[in-house]
Amino acid sequence: MSLALDSAAQDLLFREAHTAGAFSAEPVTDEQIQAIYDLVKYAPTAFNQSPLRIVLIRSEEARERLAPLMAEGNRDKTVKAPLVAILATDNEFHEELPTLFPAFPQAKDVFFAERPVREKSAAANGALQAGYFILGIRAAGLAAGPMTGFDFAGVQKEFLDDDHTPLMIVNIGKPAEEGAYRPRSPRLSYEQVVTTV
């Protein structure tokens, strides 16, 4: 066994986990989401930056605003999911670096003074954090349905502002007993991906 993580945990996070398209009616609590965030916030990013921002869509009014912005194939499952999260990046994340990266608080101005540099870094590190968040959802015994099929500009205008850029939308909940999953798609083999030089 080459991994420290036990087999059951490997299954929960990776081998048996699937992207969910349908969920049970069981609610997802704020306490569950906080526990997920309080776990995944420790995962690594460059300069310990934390550009990820999460907007939880709970109210019917907010779902009605979001639904028309979803691609047609994603609309119904988003309306029916127990909880929907908009994952976005804060392009002004550098303002928190003096606190988050005390080893070199000047990084805020030395590396991230220019907005295009911040946007590129926020996109890369926000995507990392989004991946961690999905694994955290799985660690909580829930299923995630991440989607990029939506009107990005519309979501930004409706739920965010000019300093925040949407990354993805994630449906969250307990998977439905029937119809939650499609058959698992193939993956590339180790030999197809890894080279040694």
pLDDT tops 90 at residue 137: yes
Sorting pLDDT into bands at 50, 70 and 90, what band is 1? low
pLDDT tens readout for residues 48-66: 999 999 999 999 999 999 9
169 within 8 A of 70, measured Cβ to Cβ: yes
Domains recognised in the chain with CATH numbers: 25-174 (3.40.109.10)
The CA radius of gyration of the chain, in Å to the nearest whole number, is 18
Count of CA atoms in the C-beta half-sphere (13 A) of 29:
5
Q: Are 101 and 49 in contact (CB under 8 A)?
A: yes
Interatomic CA distance for residues 58 and 78, integer angstroms: 11
Task: Report the C-alpha gap between 9 and 185 in whole angstroms.
Answer: 21
